[in-house]
Amino acid sequence: MVQRIRLRYTKRGRLRFTSHRDFQRAFERALRRAEVPMAYSAGFTPHPKVSYAGAAPTGVASEAEYLEIALAARRDPEELRVLLDESLPAGLDVTEAVEAHTSGLAERLEGSVWQLRLDGVAVEQARRAVAAFLAAEQVEVERTTKNGLRTFDARGAVLALTVAGSQQGQATEGAFEHGVGDGDRPGPDGCAILRLVVRHSTPAVRPDDVLSGLRAAADLAPPVPAAVTRLAQGPLDEESGTVTDPLAPDRDAATAASTQAAGLSAATVPGGSA
């Protein structure tokens, strides 16, 4: 391994229904099509070194999924991004690539920002439900796991939950930021748009758990399943509830390394600064 590249990618439109395993298969095909010089694991069944972090659940759209690949030969990150993006189906879009200069990408994914579109729910009804949820010290919900039915608190991990607005036939301010949309879903006469900031915890509290909590706390039950989109995930400021860019440290380190290399190159040129 001579280089590590970190990628940000999306799951949009109908591609939100792809499972994580489906994406893995599609991405490995894209690596072969783009002729990426992958580093491989050792052993009897070598496989390309790809590390996935914080994947969104099946059925959920996302603007902020992350993974890291290890290369056996150096490549320009932006050129690699374009090749991979062209090799993936529309909706699975590689939007950013940076060379890894730091460790611990997965550990930086401390929180997520979600958008929940509740078709057929009035804004005032949503506001009352959100207020009841936030006023509770604890909201217990149930989820079926491979080990059976589990009960846990959905309130403690929620740092912010607001009603961002409504949608009346077209997107309102904040409803489709970051290029988010659901063109394959018919637009309702009106719906409430919620914005959720949740801390990544154990057990993980997902948007559907918060929706279950809204039902438990205020009997809020949307007539159709919510359209859920992850807008961001990364380092979390607990006080402000702000989620920042997890690739920023690598981007800053790359800029610093480039500046240092330029300085050393200038120092070796005759007449350059010492």
Contact 166, 192 (CB under 8 A): yes
Q: Return the structure tokens found at 86.
A: 């062209």
Among 58, 52, 61, 55, smallest CA distance to 91 is for 61
Cα distance between residue 92 and residue 87, in whole Å: 10
Q: For the whole model, what pTM was predicted?
A: 0.85
Note if the bond before 203 is cis, omega within 30 degrees.
yes
- Positions in the chain short of pLDDT 70: 167-189, 261-262, 264-274
Q: Compute the residue count for the chain.
A: 274
Work out whether strand 191-199 and strand 158-167 pair parallel, antiparallel, or are unpaired: antiparallel
Confidence (pLDDT) at 271:
58
Cα distance between residue 132 and residue 158, in whole Å: 13
Burial class, 16, CB count within 10 angstroms (exposed 0-12 / middle 13-18 / buried 19+): buried
Confidence (pLDDT) at 173:
34
Residue 125 CB contacts under 8 Å (≥ 6 apart), including other chains? 192, 220
Residue 134 CB contacts under 8 Å (≥ 6 apart), including other chains? 155, 158, 161
The H or E element containing residue 111 is strand 111-119
Cα distance between residue 16 and residue 194, in whole Å: 19
Burial class, 5, CB count within 10 angstroms (exposed 0-12 / middle 13-18 / buried 19+): buried
Confidence (pLDDT) at 177:
41
Confidence (pLDDT) at 174:
36
Contact 90, 46 (CB under 8 A): no
Instruction: Give the Å distances, CA to CA, from 252 to 97, 101, 179, 207.
Output: 13, 9, 25, 32
